[in-house]
Structure 1
Amino acid sequence: MSLWTETDPRGAGFDPERLARVVPWMDRLVEDGRLAGLSVTVARRGRVAFARACGRADLARDTPFTLDTVTRIYSMTKPLTSVAVMQLYEQGLFQLDDPVARFLPEFAEMRVASGGNRMKVETEPARRPITIRDLLTHTAGLTYGFMEATLVDALYRERGIDFLAREGTLAEMVARTAAAPLLAQPGTAWNYSVATDVLGHLVAVVSGRPFADYLREAVIAPLGMADTDFHVRPDLMPRFCAAYAYDRERRLARFDDSVETVFAAAPAIASGGGGLVSTAADYHRFCRMILGGGAIDAARLLGRKTVALMLANHLGGDLAAMGTPRFAETSYTGIGFGLGFSVMLDPARAQILGTPGEVAWGGMASTAFWIDPAEDLAVVLMTQLVPSSALPIRRELRVMTYAALAD
């Protein structure tokens, strides 16, 4: 069955009238000028119960937003990179508690920021090495320069630690990262960070292949994600959308063009943390693989026990218990983190409909997905509004989707 062949929502366990509430919600977002365009795909029990797109992929060129529009998925790249890491783990090439410095020696003898100012950052030795698991769970003590909240964030900006940069190499950017002090002692705090970009370099070193090549050949191609890559191929450019951000009057303004865009050419650095473009259909195949315990159609990418380990919470509690997260593509209370995904722990504490054990993540341009193994449910939201915190559309869609379950 084609992904876009909808079935009667009743066959997938939905109340059709309730699920249809998503339609006017989508239309309002576009008509009110809050989004240029978007698509929503809801699949359950191997059936697509809802698939719809509306609005414009490019307002200036009057290009429609369709179900096969190619979008920047930014941090929704992270789960695919995490799958690549776990494939190598399954081959016995490392253990999750191995120090990453075993493979990336630049991370030996790390130091942690302990005070100071912009002129001189005071540091102390790391109490223990950064492990591969720390990188997978964002507890390594790394950060993002765009946070603009700490001295370490400022150092990242000053030193050009940006994995979406269009110059340099992945190895060089990782070396810059390792030369900066850590934000916190390894394993003590959850901080959203460039950790998954470092994992991309780890994949390259351990596999002996460029990271982009490994991801394409071992993850993207077996999944059948034909429109997913680190740049937009020439034949896909007519389907690529523009990205938008709000101006001071809360009107949509172009953030990145659909034609004059850096994504039209292969990047110098393949960012495992945020470099991919994809489509709703492609990403739905990734979700199906996770729901299938590591397999989709005739392809098996991971063992089912490996997937179960990835979907488990690897923190001591929720994100809120691991310090005060400054930014994430999820709320903090009642939400944990696995090996590449957020993990729902307690819907009541998270104050949102959901299921314990459901995993999710999103991207900077407001794209999102979640996978609920207990309900055999996967939802993919594609749009292009920067930043992802501009609208609560992920939570709104989640409520409407779960409210439509009828069995």
Structure 2
Amino acid sequence: MSIDREVAPEQAGFDARRLARLDAHFARYVDDGRLAGWQLAIARDGKVVHHSVYGQRDAEAGRPVEPDTLWRLYSMTKPVTSVAAMLLWEEGHFELTDPISRWLPEFRDMRVYDKGSVSQPFTVPAAEPIRVWHLLTHTSGLTYGFLHTSVVDALYRKAGYDLTTRPGADLAEACRDFAALPLLFQPGTAWGYGVSTDVLGRLVEVVAGMSLPEFVRTRILEPLGMHDTTWSVAPGEPRMAALYVPGPDGRRVRFDAVGDMAFEEPKAPAGGGGLISTAADYQKFMTMLLRRGDGLLAPRTVAFMTRNHLPGDVDLDTVQTGGFAETTFEGVGFGLGFAVVRDPVPARVFSSPGTYYWGGAASTAFWIDPVERLTVGFYTQLLPSSTYPLRPQLRQLIYSALTD
């Protein structure tokens, strides 16, 4: 399904000439070889105001970006998995304060890294168990192997967890591997980006009694009409965008070694980064959230998820452990599956307090601004997302186009 403009910019409080600056600005990223192509969709009150595509979804094959192009969402999967968990929470299957070891016993007696090297790490007992809310907020102490910022993430790489899951491991085995590794910090005391949402996906499987893809398909994707969203596509699927990384000269270089994983059904479907989707499908997901659940979730559940749940109501800047993340840290808190803007001034980036968002490792991004009733989705395929300041530039160009 494609995505079409539903209302004229002027009717939705936008200056059409200022919106046009968006396309011209990001076209330069393609014209000078930094990106292959991109897609942008902006909606207000759930109606698309601006939709544009530019460049190639597969530069080597000469295939242009089209409205129905398929994109690797990577960490934009995390909000979907978080919604899946909260559907079960609404039904009373667990409390947010429950230890996850109730369903995943391998996490019962966790150890926390204290000092030492990769070859000889010293650990101490966890002061409290990992709880469900720790997974939703990335305060569990679990980390990612690809961060390259700590002894603990080096231990993840040693165990086979870098950009991908250990070959041959399913989701249950991966969680057992994570539980055998030390935590980066005591649960609930800091914020660290990691495999928390993958473990949350496994929790969904155990509680629901079905695989994560099946639960997400039947409880979220089908009710919302997200028929192009999946964990893999058929080999050679022509709508699939190619994946790129920056080369030594700054121009994109194709990265099939990781990109081709989109054509393989995953043995360990990642709740933290596995989905492939279209702009039209993800627009449906964002619109559901903007409309406060729209019958899928309860309005108060969405309101609760999008508050700052960090201990002491502090900014991420106060409790973050560094490394890669899909957000700035200043003036930003974290809810149940999303970063949440507390105050846009410290980061010097346009947005409204209460805006919630996330992004993907291949430079995709989305945000939902309940104050301005705005949803934005940007799609491209360049690893890592920190290569260019695409997200702050999107914000300053979009918000400066609002006229009402």
Q: TM-score category by the smaller chain?
A: over 0.9
- What residue number does 2:105 align with? 105
- Output the amino acid matched with 1:136: L
- Output the amino acid matched with 1:190: W
- What residue number does 2:302 align with? 307
- What residue number does 2:139 align with? 139
* Contact 1:311/1:339, CA 8 A, preserved across alignment: yes
**Shift in Å, 1:164:** 4.2
Question: CA 1:232–1:137 in structure 2 vs 1: closer, same or farther (change >3 Å)?
Answer: same
CA distance in 2, matches of 1:154, 1:52: 41
* Contact 2:165/2:174, CA 8 A, preserved across alignment: no
Give the alignment of 1:7-406 within 5 angstroms. 7-161=7-161, 164-165=165-166, 167-233=168-234, 237-256=237-256, 261-295=260-294, 300-315=295-310, 316=312, 317-406=314-403
Give a deviation string over 1:141-182, Cα, whole Å, max 9, x none.
Answer: 010000111111111011123554552210000000001010
- Output the amino acid matched with 2:395: R
Give a deviation string over 1:37-88, Cα, whole Å, max 9, x none.
Answer: 0011000022211000010011111000112110111000000000000000
**Shift in Å, 1:119:** 1.6
- Output the amino acid matched with 1:358: T
Tell me the percent identity. 50
* Contact 2:46/2:290, CA 8 A, preserved across alignment: no
The answer to which of 358-367 and 318-327 deviates more is: 318-327
* Contact 1:135/1:199, CA 8 A, preserved across alignment: yes
CA distance in 2, matches of 1:57, 1:251: 15
CA distance in 2, matches of 1:58, 1:334: 37
- Output the amino acid matched with 2:272: G
Residue aligned with 2:301, SS: helix
CA distance in 2, matches of 1:217, 1:174: 24
**Shift in Å, 1:6:** 4.0
- Output the amino acid matched with 1:311: T
CA distance in 2, matches of 1:168, 1:125: 27
Unaligned runs of 5+ in 2: none
Unaligned runs of 5+ in 1: none
Residue aligned with 1:115, SS: strand
CA distance in 2, matches of 1:2, 1:158: 43
**Shift in Å, 1:262:** 2.2
CA distance in 1, matches of 2:165, 2:278: 20
Residue aligned with 1:349, SS: coil
**Shift in Å, 1:249:** 1.7
- Output the amino acid matched with 2:227: A
CA distance in 1, matches of 2:175, 2:2: 40
Residue aligned with 1:30, SS: helix
**Shift in Å, 1:185:** 0.4
- Output the amino acid matched with 1:251: R
CA distance in 2, matches of 1:349, 1:160: 38
* Contact 1:241/1:257, CA 8 A, preserved across alignment: no
Residue aligned with 1:23, SS: helix
**Shift in Å, 1:266:** 1.2
**Shift in Å, 1:216:** 1.1
TM-score w.r.t. length of structure 2: 0.96
**Shift in Å, 1:2:** 7.7
* Contact 2:3/2:279, CA 8 A, preserved across alignment: no
**Shift in Å, 1:255:** 1.1
* Contact 2:2/2:68, CA 8 A, preserved across alignment: no
Indicate yes or no: 2:4 matched with 1:4.
yes
CA distance in 1, matches of 2:276, 2:199: 19
* Contact 1:355/1:374, CA 8 A, preserved across alignment: yes
**Shift in Å, 1:269:** 1.0
- Output the amino acid matched with 2:58: D
* Contact 1:247/1:253, CA 8 A, preserved across alignment: yes
* Contact 2:35/2:251, CA 8 A, preserved across alignment: no
Question: CA 1:43–1:164 in structure 2 vs 1: closer, same or farther (change >3 Å)?
Answer: farther
Give a deviation string over 1:259-312, Cα, whole Å, max 9, x none.
Answer: x822123111110000110111111110000011111xxxx2211111111110
- Output the amino acid matched with 2:47: R
- Output the amino acid matched with 2:261: V
Residue aligned with 1:48, SS: strand
CA distance in 2, matches of 1:76, 1:166: 23
* Contact 1:165/1:269, CA 8 A, preserved across alignment: no
* Contact 1:243/1:254, CA 8 A, preserved across alignment: yes
